[in-house]
Amino acid sequence: MSASLLTEDSAGLDGLSVWPGSTTRLPHGHLSVGGVSLAEVADRFDTPAYVLDEDEIRARCRMYRAAFPQADVVYAAKAFLSRAMVRWIHEEGLGLDVCSAGELELAVTAGFPPERVVLHGNAKTPRDIELGLRLGVGRIVVDSPSEVARIAALTGLPGRQKVMVRVVPGVAAGGHEKIRTGTDGQKFGLSLTDGSAQHAIARVLGQPQLELTGLHCHIGSQITEVKPYLVAVRRMVGLMARVRESHGVTFPELDLGGGHGVAYRPGEPALDVTALARRLNAELATSCAAAGLPVPRLAVEPGRAIAAPAGVALYRVLAVKHTGGKVFVAVDGGMSDNPRPALYGARYAPRLIGRATGAEPVTATVVGRHCEAGDVLADDVPLPGDVRPGDLIAVPVAGAYQVSMASAYNLVGRPPVVAVHGGAARLLVRRETQEDFRRRDVGV
Ligand code: LLP
């Protein structure tokens, strides 16, 4: 198990517990990840840059497969996707959750078997559905009543498409209001409480082109407790029992989505995946036995917990400003490569790397270079008091929902993604350039 899966104290890592397991201290304040000095990565690929530790991704996939030997582990591509990532996920035996024709096409052209793909989306475009059907995705997750007939019509006979119905089980969980999806009153899924889920299930069962393999729910993201998942299982099994009563159908599958939380800063809690697996299986067995139902095959869809801890963002300090009693450390990236602090108030633990310093720490605010006062990467964090332009700042736990949510704001250009493995660094995704912007801008 990698060091980042251990607690700070047990690993004795002095602030490195949330870093990839391969992280090593080098002389003069340098750090290496995957056997590669981060300062060398910064020199070679320039900054800002995102570093992904391939072994950490693979170790996390293996940890999931070991924890869930009987279940399907389906990686949520929205956390981070590239062709290399597709290959790693495939080689480690995981499935893939995609939510657009774009993600789907990237995955399949990179060699991912379509039958191991789950297609999501609260508002699937005709192209999403058509491509899903044409490529032969394993499951399409129905998220609204109107798409049942659309998927069925496009499937046509004699083809049969496997689908699931996304249910809102009425469980409140998740690290921020914007990423809670388990209760009514948000856009995803079909409500258990108002009968929309039952209604959609009946509709799907009425379509001969569709094969309903089971129910799906995704209650939220950055969840660090097991309990909400157990409540969700009880409610989902309750619904499965009602479906059997009213339609005489038992489902062979149950997909519980993702949402597994990670520690972004030393000492923060993370979801215990092994405990989750053990308690989910126990709850499922008990609930199904009580309802007289066969135990369905489980699926889980982790995104963040696979990708986030494997990533490190590297920035160069451009300016240091003392104003209003605060110390602002401005770097060459910001909200265009990491919108999470601005969107969810996410907190990170940045670190000065690449030189030794004995300077007393000051409380600093790391900000980006964008024309917006809310472009803050990390508020109130300790940094050495002599932090200055030219310094390198590294931010761990940067592998999920940063590059994948990056924007073209201020035409700064999205950063490159560099994989490190066995002492070598290689470019996975190149930096977005002025030339890329020029090419898209076709009018006058
Ligand atoms: N399955 C479904 C249907 C989902 O919608 C999601 C995430 C996942 C699985 C994976 O969830 P995870 O294991 O990564 O928590 N941008 C936000 C997170 C949004 C999550 C969206 N759905 C953030 O940066 O915190």
Q: Is the CB of 221 under 6 A from ligand 1?
A: yes
Number of C-beta neighbours around residue 70 at 10 A: 9
What is the 98 CA–ligand 1 centroid distance (Å)? Answer: 11
Q: Is the CB of 264 under 6 A from ligand 1?
A: no
The answer, yes or no, to whether residue 338 has pLDDT greater than 90, is yes
Tens-place pLDDT, residues 245-267: 999 999 999 999 999 999 999 99
Output the CA angle 164-295-91, nearest 5 degrees.
Answer: 65
Burial 337-370 (b: 16+ CB within 10 A, else e): bbbbbbebebebbbbbbbeebeeeebebbbbbbb
**Closest residue CA from atom 23 of ligand 1:** 401
Please state which of the four CATH numbers 3.40.1010.20, 3.20.20.10, 3.40.50.1820, 3.30.70.330 is assigned to the domain occupying 55-306: 3.20.20.10
What is the 76 CA–ligand 1 centroid distance (Å)? Answer: 7
Q: Is the CB of 303 under 6 A from ligand 1?
A: yes
| DSSP-assigned states of every residue in 385-437 | TT--TT-EEEEES-SSSSGGG---GGG--PPPEEEEETTEEEEEEPPP-HHHH
The answer, yes or no, to whether residue 55 has pLDDT greater than 70, is yes
The answer, yes or no, to whether residue 1 has pLDDT greater than 90, is no
Average pLDDT, the chain: 95
The answer, yes or no, to whether residue 42 has pLDDT greater than 50, is yes
Who has greater pLDDT, 182 or 260? 260
Q: Is the CB of 301 under 6 A from ligand 1?
A: yes
Index of the ligand 1 atom closest to the CA of residue 176: 25
What is the 25 CA–ligand 1 centroid distance (Å)? Answer: 32
In this prediction, residues 28-34 reach a mean pLDDT of 97
Nearest to 155 by CA among 142, 143, 173: 142
What type of residue sits at position 34? G
In this prediction, residues 102-129 reach a mean pLDDT of 98
Helix spans in 184-324 (H): 196-205, 227-247, 273-291, 304-307
CA distances from 365 to 108, 168, 319, 340, 391 (A): 42, 39, 12, 15, 15
* CA 128 – CA 278 distance, rounded (Å): 35
Cβ burial, residue 171 (10 Å; 0-12/13-18/19+): buried
The answer, yes or no, to whether residue 2 has pLDDT greater than 50, is no
Q: Give residue 183's pLDDT.
A: 87
The answer, yes or no, to whether residue 12 has pLDDT greater than 60, is no
pLDDT band for position 178 (cuts 50, 70, 90):
confident
Q: Which helix (H) or strand (E) holds 45?
A: helix 38-45
Nearest to 51 by CA among 405, 263, 309: 309
Which CATH fold topology does 3-52+309-440 show? Lyase, Ornithine Decarboxylase; Chain A, domain 1 (2.40.37)
Q: Give residue 31's pLDDT.
A: 98
Enter the tokens of residue 415.
Answer: 């950063």
Lowest-confidence segment of 177-191, 262-276, 360-374 by average pLDDT: 177-191
Q: Is the CB of 260 under 6 A from ligand 1?
A: yes
**Closest residue CA from atom 15 of ligand 1:** 259
* CA 270 – CA 407 distance, rounded (Å): 28
403 dihedral zone (left: phi>0; alpha: psi -120 to 50; beta): alpha
Would you list the domain boundaries of the chain? Answer: 3-52+309-440, 55-306
Angle of helix 146-155 relative to helix 126-135, nearest 10 degrees, comes to 40
What global pTM score does this model have?
Answer: 0.96
**Residues with catalytic roles:** 371
Instruction: Indicate the length of the chain as a whole number.
Output: 444
What type of residue sits at position 109? T
